[in-house]
């Protein structure tokens, strides 16, 4: 059984939260497995910042035959977000109104806009129920927003290393990356490689927030008598910038960073806590102890205010990137939660209730 890539096209005007619109919308998505007769076995995976719909490539430890999310028993679906580089409508797509690529004119999507786009795809596939929706980082922002927009759609939500409101700390990191792109002298141009050198520097900046002090001290430890370009951290940062430049574009990077900044589930809903209390899904929140970008207090907040939510912490050397790397720990945490759900036991919910009563 192989994963399959599909293309969805909507010819309807797609209106954005900021008042702008696109004349049409395309989404590229991957499926793995088959929909059950009752259509109750959908695992919808939301990818992170520079990820793609090819979840079998970037989350191999969690997805695949015999793995936690098994295509032999479930239909696994992952859609490439609008604005990204991997086939969905984005800055390099042709604007049908002008006949030219969007480039700088591609509008800013919010997380809420992304979820509305996903819902068009869901409706076209006649999926009326999602068994589990899971996402990490910006993917977790999408999964969270969807569980608020449609409380009865998702039966189980798994929110990993994510938040209800993107922090000023996270926004500052993103703005610093955008500034790096803006100083690239090619950035004002309308051509596919515009800003690519700036994006390399942006990626190097981002990587510092994805890891932490201890990660670099161990994985990029300086060798004895090394200087200049021989320093491991120097070559590593440059390698990561070059690596991304081979597979991504600066327009998408710029817009997706703004998309992440838009996260605020309380916007026009009476506040964050009121919005979180709308959720009906059985919810597991996973935080990473060493995460510097989405610190664990943000996941504890989610678990406290989402009704009946459970919380589990992963101790990883790799900081925020632990949600992509620590497949074993992730699997263990999710399986434990699934077991407790079957037993109808939620120790963390009882813990937070006890705190509120004090």
Query: Which has the closest alpha carbon to 143: 35, 10, 286, 9?
Result: 286
Share of the chain above pLDDT 70, in %: 94
Domains present along the chain, CATH in parentheses:
4-167+264-357 (3.40.50.1820), 170-260 (1.10.1740.110)
Catalytic residue, from 291, 310, 316, 321: name it.
291
Q: How far apart are CA 93 and CA 8, in angstroms?
A: 14
Query: Which has the closest alpha carbon to 287: 258, 261, 335, 326?
Result: 326
Q: Is residue 166 annotated as a catalytic residue, yes or no?
A: no
Q: Which two tokens stand for residue 324?
A: 């992509």
| Predicted confidence band of residue 345 (pLDDT cuts 50, 70, 90) | low
Catalytic residue, from 88, 137, 209, 316: name it.
137
Q: Is residue 137 annotated as a catalytic residue, yes or no?
A: yes
Residue appearing with tokens 């959908």: 42
Q: Is residue 291 annotated as a catalytic residue, yes or no?
A: yes
Catalytic residue, from 281, 316, 320, 321: name it.
320
**pLDDT tens-digit map of 14-53:** 999 999 999 999 999 999 999 999 999 999 999 999 999 9
Residue appearing with tokens 């994985």: 219
pLDDT of residue 282: 98
């Amino acid at each position: 059984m192989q994963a399959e890539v599909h293309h969805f096209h909507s010819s309807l005007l797609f209106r954005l939260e900021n008042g702008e619109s696109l004349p049409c919308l395309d989404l590229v998505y991957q499926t793995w497995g088959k929909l059950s007769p009752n259509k109750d076995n959908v695992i919808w995976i939301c990818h992170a910042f520079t990820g793609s719909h090819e979840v079998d490539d970037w989350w191999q430890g969690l997805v695949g035959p015999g793995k936690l999310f098994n295509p032999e028993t479930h239909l696994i679906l992952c859609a490439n977000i609008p604005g990204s580089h991997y086939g969905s409508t984005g800055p390099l797509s042709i604007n049908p109104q002008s006949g030219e690529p969007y480039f700088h004119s591609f509008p800013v999507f919010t997380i809420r806009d992304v979820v509305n786009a996903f819902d068009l795809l869901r409706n076209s596939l006649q999926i009326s129920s999602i068994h589990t929706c899971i996402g990490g980082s910006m993917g977790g922002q999408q999964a969270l927003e969807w569980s608020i927009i449609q409380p009865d759609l998702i039966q189980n939500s798994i929110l990993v290393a994510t938040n209800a409101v993107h922090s000023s700390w996270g926004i500052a990191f993103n703005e610093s990356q955008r500034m790096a792109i803006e100083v690239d002298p090619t950035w004002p141009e309308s051509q596919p490689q515009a800003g690519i050198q700036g994006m390399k520097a942006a990626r190097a900046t981002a990587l510092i927030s994805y890891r932490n002090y201890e990660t670099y001290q161990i994985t990029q430890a300086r060798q004895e008598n090394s200087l200049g370009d021989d320093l491991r951290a120097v070559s590593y940062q440059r390698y990561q910038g070059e690596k991304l430049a081979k597979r991504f574009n600066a327009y998408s990077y710029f817009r997706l960073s703004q998309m992440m900044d838009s996260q605020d589930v309380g916007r026009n809903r009476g506040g964050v806590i009121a919005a979180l209390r709308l959720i009906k899904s059985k919810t597991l929140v996973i935080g990473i102890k060493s995460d510097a970008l989405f610190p664990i207090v943000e996941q504890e907040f989610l678990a406290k205010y989402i009704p009946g939510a459970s919380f589990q912490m992963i101790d990883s050397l790799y900081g925020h990137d632990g949600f992509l790397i620590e497949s074993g720990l992730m699997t263990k945490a999710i399986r434990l939660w699934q077991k407790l759900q079957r037993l109808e036991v939620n120790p963390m919910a009882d813990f937070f209730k006890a705190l509120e009563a004090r």
